[in-house]
Chains A and B, each alone.
Chain A
Amino acid sequence: MQDVKTNKKVIDEGVEAGLAKLTPEKIASVINQVLEKETGARFKAYVQTCMRCGLCSDACSVFLSNDRAPQYSPAAKVKQTILEMINKKGRVSREFLSDAVRIAHTECNVCKRCSMYCPFGIDIAYMMLTVRRIIHKLEITPLYIQDTVNSHAATGNQMWVKQDEWIDTLQWQEEDAREEFEDLRIPLDKDGSDIMYSVIAPEPKFQAGLIYQMATIMHAANVNWTMPSTPGWDNSNMAMYTGDFETSGRIARIHYEAAANLHVKKIVMGECGHAFRSVYDVGNRWVGWTAPPIELIHAIDFYHFLLTTGRIKVKEKYKKSVTLHDPCNISRGRGLHHKAREIVNILCENFIEMTPNKEHNYCCGAGGGVINCGPPWKGTRMVNNKEKSRQLKRTGAQVLIAPCHNCHSGLEDIVEHYELGMEIKFFGDIIFEVMEKTIFEEGN
């Protein structure tokens, strides 16, 4: 793909450096190993069932954003990557692989919307993740997302946050949040708590205020909670998206082990979508757990509980007009769109639906690790997000609620690039703004 601004092919140093080291033998052996040893009947069935009808095209926001150019349809992405690898028995060129990286890593958000449009329910996201697995094993993963995975592998969190920095940040937020409640605590490693709260590493790194807000909400709701001081506090997982399944499984396990060591009853995780997919759906399975070994709920579920049981009371409803972006990984990934709507209606006066919505919502365009491929790919990402910008614009809302970190970052880029003038907020931001700052007492 050409970069929109410079009109040149996007150069990703990580990909280029990796490609330079590859030999035809290595390429063929890796591809054939993955295709023969790591895939099974499901993969074969998907390849043999697809009748090339093209009905998946309308599902894909990247396809729609590029004025329906045929090479962007989901089935076309399969044709240009995995089918070619099968047909050539792994004997593909470096140029081919360079294109395969671009397609699988930056033109597919693995959002699974196409599975809902394919009459046969073919899981094309799985096919693209298989391409990414091959890319990982060939060591040609885009630079920025690979750095994130390296951080996961070395530190257990995605942003190279050191343990003392983590603890310091929590204590700093605790001190600040005492402006709201003088005896507020962010309890670290409190054994036997009802709830362990986990976040993604960008929170302590760039958005510590979100931890402040959550601490205030927890305190007001009188919740017996804790956060771990040791690795496992970060629930995010970029390795899941690069095909580094070994690291992916390991960090999901660290997360659950932290909760098990603290003997908590339940894990509540912050407003993040991909992290939810990791600990609820993907990482746990790699470790061998059919379902999460400790009950795990997304922030939406938790807020819903707090607001409907009166643990958090709304002082005055939020006035500005709001719309809601349903993150793929918690709507199509967990059906939380119904509860999300109930929360919006409890919190806000003026709610405008965007269309399509719920399971059928378009991905934010950043998901599936696409935004994590970093600055080299931002220009093309903005082109691929045109349809999303149209969808947002149609709502005419002042505020866009996005209960997911990845969505947040991606939507900020879209709002800025397409000059939509929307404010983007988490549910936590709005709850913090409209809640009564009194402490809930049982029986009241």
Chain B
Amino acid sequence: MHSFIQFITGPMVWISFGICFIGIVFRLLQIFRLTREKENFMFTFLSVKFSLRSILVWLVPFLPVSTRKSPVFYAVSYIFHILLFLTPLFLLSHVILIEENFNLSWWTVSDWLADIFTVAVICALIFFAIRRRMVPEVKFLTGLSDYVFIILVALPFISGFIAYHQFFAYQWMVIIHVISGELMLILIPFTRFFHMILAPLTRAYTASEFGGVRHSKDW
């Protein structure tokens, strides 16, 4: 057991980050090569100016018309995505781990704030799940994989929360926390989690066509 925990908190962390990073680079190169080979014209139309303009607009809450049509969903979604990165990155326990190993350290959020963030992420995921059940047009599109994604994201947050407060099964919660976190990293390049990398690219191309060719806004 001890050696297992040592493995998942040691080499496996490296392996997970490695797969995630190399996977992202590999997928990006693959996309780049395939575009060069079959749709080289896309580079002709791609415009940095219009891409950045559109991405910036879409980062501002309630500027795009679409975000105003579904204000609750967008509000939850904005907060969720920000906290999804903020919470693990600035969590004291994570930063301490990094400091112990690499002598690197940065700003952290207080534990009670991290608690609020964690609960907020979990609530957002519950909201997404309920929305998938309740809103007919979303329910129609939803498959099993969509719930699996929600669970995969929820696991490290729920287990981390329970482990920190030592509510029950501390050791098991730590194991689940570490493994599910690593799993998520590994899956990023190869599943729809990859939208974190692809979405800015699809937006950029659509923005370039709308702005550069069609002289029109895309928000």
Point out residues on A near B: beta carbons under 8 Å. Answer: 39-42, 44-46, 48-55, 57-59, 63, 68-71, 73, 75-76, 79, 115-123, 281, 285, 290, 331-335, 359-360
Contacts and interface: CB of A to CB of B under 8 A. Distances in A.
B31 A41 contact: yes
B198 A49 contact: yes
B38 A121 contact: no
Given A41-B39, A116-B66, A121-B54, A290 B44 contact: yes
A49 B135 contact: no
Nearest to A120: B199
B214 interface: yes
Contact of A121 (B30, B141, B206): B206
A42 B215 contact: no
A120 B214 contact: no
A52 B41 CA distance: 28
A303 to B, nearest CB: 17
A44 B202 CA distance: 11
A63 B31 CA distance: 33
Given A45-B198, A51-B192, A115-B218, A40 B37 contact: yes
Interface in B115-158: 135-143, 146
B14 interface: no
A45 B41 contact: no
B17 interface: no
Interface residues of B, number: 52
Contact of B218 (A76, A121, A281): A121
B92 to A, nearest CB: 31
5 contacts: A68-B137, A115-B210, A119-B58, A290-B41, A334-B216
A62 to B, nearest CB: 12
Contacts of B215: 334-335
A281 B54 CA distance: 20
A332 B34 contact: no
B198 A76 contact: no
A79 B141 contact: yes
A79 B140 CA distance: 9
Contact of A54 (B31, B54, B138): B138
A55 B70 contact: yes
Contact of A71 (B41, B69, B140): B140
A117 B203 contact: no
Contacts of A46: 202
Interface centre among B64, B137, B206, B216 (most CB of A within 10 A): B137
B41 to A, nearest CB: 7
A70 B140 CA distance: 6
